[in-house]
Amino acid sequence: MIRAIKGTRDILPPSSAAWNFVEEVSRDVFRRYHYQEIRTPIFEETALFARGVGEETDIVSKEMYTFADRDETSLTLRPENTAGVMRAYIEHRLDQIPGVTKLYYIGPMFRRERPQKGRYRQFFQIGAEAIGSESPYVDAEVIEMVVEILERCGVAGFHLLINSVGCPKCRPAFIGKLREKLAEVAPGMCADCRRRAETNPLRVLDCKVPEDQPVIETLPSILDHLCAECRTHFDTVQGSLSDRGIAYEVKPRLVRGLDYYRRTTFEITHGALGAQSAMMGGGRYDGLAEAIGSKVPAPGIGFSIGEDRLVMTVEESRPAVPALDVFVAPMGDAAAREAALIARELRAQGLSVEVSADRKLKRSLEVAHKSGARFAVILGDDEIAAGTVQWKNMASGEQIAVPRGELAARSKGMEHG
């Protein structure tokens, strides 16, 4: 038997309803903040990620799905989408449009990671990018938007962590201090940290190995090395978050270890996700456009939410919603023809309706119950002759005769039973 590939899975009902709910909430929040959807290809030239994400990152060096096209062009399934969005922004000259370009995306990404709770090799992200401004108030608004998405999805108990990673003017001095300290302590850390201490010291701060955390807490803090401009920017972001009533914690060793990231970086964690507690991450990437070949600077800030993890949290905290409004149970051929018209009429009212394929009432009602239907409409030859239907509340068991001509009106008041 052929099964789904390791690290992938099928999203089945009723779970798919939770996915739709999360995406509908996200789209509505994006609309309110005047973000518009962008859909980029799921594969790009490998060079985009090597230059945009960074050759020394685990994503590029270990996790990408890369293959040669028939013309020997190296292509890669997208492991993230910020680089692809920036490529599209540059290619289509979206910088010519006045104001900040606000884009969002929802879709699959691909990384060959070790599958674990909430983490898959084909996974989904909900993300947004605000390109064209260096303003710290844009940073705060982007963070506010993330928080609103989570709150409207019913997620509680999450924690917002923020930091500044400085800029090319002040970060080199910090990295110098970091290298000095790592020369002392890195030999006792994990293999990845030992390698990163040489190739990209900032990435050491992003290590998730529990045994390394006490050592990481002893490393220098970048907040002690910010230049005046970066300090003012970070202070303004914090002040704007406070003005908006958004709780946060400054985490001095929260980083995005790529050269193009500057200033604001942030992450949201949730305890229900276990050791890998990060639900989303984001940051300012004012150097990304230049990293992928643009001669025109395009400062920006963005985030991506791990949709798989968000849905998992929503499913654990959000009560199941009945999947079906009305189940129509016809008894006999004449009733089946009338049932089709009833279903059409109720669907026009915006209701979800299922018509039984069985003509035996007991079995139809069993299916209605298992389907989670709120109400059942029952009709046979007697009801057709009398011009009525039987309206059954599946929760209470109450059943009354309703004139056929009043069924549409009755359906509008369904929430009252």
Q: What percent of the chain has pLDDT over 70?
A: 93
Residues 303 and 330 in one domain: no
Which comes out higher in pLDDT, residue 219 or 118?
219
Inside any domain, residue 152: yes
Alpha helices in 213-267 (DSSP H): 213-216, 228-243
Which stretch of 51-60, 64-73, 148-157, 384-393 has the lowest confidence by average pLDDT?
A: 51-60
How confident is residue 55, by pLDDT bands cut at 50, 70 and 90? low
Question: Is 51 contained in some domain?
Answer: yes
Separation between Cα atoms, residue 130 and residue 10, nearest integer Å: 32
Q: How far apart are CA 335 and CA 384, in angstroms?
A: 7
What range defines the domain where residue 232 resides? 15-170+226-317
pLDDT tops 70 at residue 292: yes
Single out the residue in 289, 317, 345 at which a domain terminates: 317
CATH code of residue 264:
3.30.930.10
Q: Which two tokens stand for residue 318?
A: 């959000």
**Boundary of a domain, candidates 253, 284, 317:** 317
Q: What b/e sequence results for 158-176 when a residue is b if at least 16 CB atoms lie within 10 Å of its CB, and e otherwise?
A: bebbbbbbbbeebbeebbe
29 lies in the same domain as 96: yes
Long-range CB contacts for residues 230-236, cutoff 8 Å, separation at least 24 = 230/164, 230/166, 230/167, 230/169, 230/170, 230/263, 231/164, 233/136, 233/164, 233/263, 233/264, 234/136, 234/164, 234/263, 234/264, 236/136, 236/137, 236/140
- Domain-ending residue, one of 317, 345, 380: 317
Q: Is residue 188 part of a domain?
A: no
Residue 342 sits in a domain whose CATH number is: 3.40.50.800
Predicted TM-score of the model (pTM): 0.86
At 255 the pLDDT is: 83
Tokens in use for 255? 């980083």
> Is residue 346 in some structural domain?
yes
CA distance 99 to 87: 19
Q: What tens digit of pLDDT does each residue of 59-70 get?
A: 776 788 899 999
What pLDDT is recorded for position 416? 41
Give the whole-angstrom CA distance, residue 162 versus residue 265: 6
341 and 383 together in one domain = yes
Query: Are 342 and 407 members of one domain?
Result: yes
- Number of structural domains, the chain? 2
61 occurs within a structural domain: yes
What digits encode the pLDDT tens for the residues 332-388? 888 999 999 999 999 998 899 999 988 888 999 999 898 889 999 999 999 999 999
Residue 323 has pLDDT above 80, yes or no: no
Q: Are 332 and 384 in contact (CB under 8 A)?
A: no
74 and 156 within one domain: yes
Mean pLDDT to the nearest integer, 43-57: 80
Judge residue 131's burial from the number of C-beta atoms within 10 Å of its C-beta, 0-12 exposed, 13-18 middle, 19 or more buried: buried
Examine residue 94 and state whether it is found in any structural domain, yes or no: yes
Same domain, yes or no: 330 and 356: yes
Q: Would 197 be classed as within a structural domain?
A: no
Q: Same domain, yes or no, for 163 and 302?
A: yes
Q: How far is CA 14 from CA 10, 62, 167, 376, in A?
A: 12, 35, 46, 20
Same-domain status, 111 and 25 = yes
